[in-house]
Amino acid sequence: MDTKTNLEKKGIIYKIEVNDRLYIGATTSKYLSKRTFDHNYKLKTNPTRSLYKYCIENDINSIKCIPVEDFFYTDRSQLRAREEVLRKQLNATLNTNRAYTTDEEKLVQSRRLKKKWAKENREKVLLSQKKYYYKNKDVKKLKPIF
């Protein structure tokens, strides 16, 4: 977006380069230095996250956030959606989670997970269906006549 209205807020989309790999993030902080400070603090206190773990493995003890673009938004999901677009375009392999998922993508993922669970728990599903059948078999016979 080139212009800003009174209702819009400014977000910053940034990247962190670690050797040949990339992390894309977004912040609503006014200054990128605050987000940089937060990343460096977490690098010391939460080294199990993949970004920080990779930094430690590569002897990097200070993270630098590099601005990619300023992005004006009215709803935070717009900022997340833009971050997701850039994450994909720039092939950010250090991101472990997607920044934004559409409702349709959530539905597809939910269906896939349910199918996987049903396949892995076939006996439970069959038992549940059997219980339901015996509990409701009389109800099915009594259909209203209209």
Domain boundaries, the chain: 9-100, 104-141
Going from the C-alpha of 98 to that of each of 15, 40, 78, 124, the distances in angstroms are 15, 21, 14, 32
- Domain at 9-100: CATH code: 3.40.1440.10
Residue 9 has pLDDT above 80, yes or no: yes
pLDDT at residue 95 in the model:
93
pLDDT of residue 144: 62
pLDDT band at 135 (very low <50, low <70, confident <90, very high): confident
Radius of gyration of the chain (CA): 24
Tell me, what's the pLDDT at 4? 64
Other beta carbons within 10 angstroms of residue 129's beta carbon come to 10
Instruction: Say which residue, 135 or 1, is predicted with more confidence.
Output: 135
Report how far apart, in Å, the C-alpha atoms of 73 and of each of 97, 122, 141 are. 21, 46, 57
Across the strands, what pairs with 16?
23
Q: What was the pLDDT predicted at 6? A: 64
pLDDT tens for residues 75-116? 999 999 999 999 999 999 999 888 888 888 889 889 999 999
